[in-house]
Amino acid sequence: MAEWLYEEGIGEARAALVEKGRLVEALIERETGGVRAGAVAQGRLTQTLIPKKRGVVRLISQEEVLIEPLPPRTSEGSTVLVEILREAIPEEGRPKRAKGRIAQPGSKPHAGPSLLQRLRATGTPVVPCPAHEEDRLEAVGWTELMEEAISGDVGTEAAALRLYVTPAMLLIDVDGSLPPAQLGPKGAKIAAQTIRRMGLSGSIGIDLPTMNNKDERMIAAAQIDKYLPLPFERTAVNGFGFLQIIRKRERANLIELLRADPVETAALALLRRAERHGNGGPATLTAAPAIIDLLYRKSDWIEQLAKRRGGAITLTAGATLALGAGHVA
């Protein structure tokens, strides 16, 4: 039976959908303070980019939202209610603003659903996983999946994926030692599973090996349909082995989230380990100086950790430690 494993961590909430003992989908929600998808928020139109088509609204929180379309007679300075369709997306160089539209008449401001609320809405059982119990997320491969998302490398020598995030789309390159007729379907299967596991959405391109004929390409495409749940749209596999998938995009995927701030990602992973270290009580966290500096600034995280462990927390900088080499004692 499928179930969601849910952790209310320090600085972030985590969830893993487990089916037949396998982690098939992972979700993380960080405490960014940004507006969530599904919210209706009040703001002011500060800029018209394309008359009647596109503009920028600054919310009361000061976050900016890209609005499409712009209703007629909506002028700069107008107070509006905005329905959030997509959360802000971290992106190298220039992050993408949240995206929305003018809310329907009669709408009232409200927050978007939290991760836990979204899980409950699926109808699949949600199992809380507190830190003092068995680490059920780790048992199904949580850390391995996080490492794959950070590195962009998935699979084995026989069939491997390399994931590239670009402003236009996410690209998945399939390579391996298998013959093309076998590598095509195998790569398509792994790609479909990876798309689901990492919450990849928007425009996704998959570059499969060049196969011998249309039948082989159709067999490869069928693996996408088998292992990637609807809704999504896709093209056929063309003669060069390329196909495109479109999935609804409401928030950052796992790759974008984990890579946006490597120091924060490493710090939160260290806090997760610290929650589970030993039998509680005082603890010393030793990590790279950048991580320790962040934890000093995020004093509320350390206060939460001390409360959950029931003891004082000491922070120590290790000048030679890599970001992922922090440890707890």
pLDDT at position 300: 97
Mean pLDDT of the chain: 96
What is the fold of 152-254? Answer: Aminopeptidase (3.40.630)
End-to-end Cα, the chain, rounded Å: 37
Q: What band does 92 get if pLDDT is binned at 50, 70 and 90?
A: confident
Segments of the chain assigned to CATH 3.40.1260.20: 261-328
> pLDDT of 278-309, one tens digit each?
999 999 999 999 999 999 999 999 999 999 99
Can you tell me the mean pLDDT for 257-280? 96
How far apart are alpha carbons 11 and 31 in whole angstroms?
A: 6
Instruction: Report whether 309 contacts 274 (CB < 8 A).
Output: yes
Can you tell me the mean pLDDT for 112-125? 97
> pLDDT of 11-60, one tens digit each?
999 999 999 999 999 999 999 889 999 999 999 999 999 998 999 999 99
For domain 261-328, which architecture applies?
A: 3-Layer(aba) Sandwich (3.40)
Angle at 289 between CA 271 and CA 131, to 5 degrees: 5
pTM score of the predicted model: 0.93
What is the fold of 3-33+113-139? Answer: Nucleotidyltransferase; domain 5 (3.30.420)
**pLDDT over 90, % of the chain:** 94
pLDDT at position 239: 94
- The CATH number of the structural domain formed by 40-102 is 2.40.50
Segments of the chain assigned to CATH 3.40.630: 152-254
Can you tell me the mean pLDDT for 76-83? 95
Give the sign of the dihedral formed by CA 137, CA 268, CA 98, CA 171.
negative
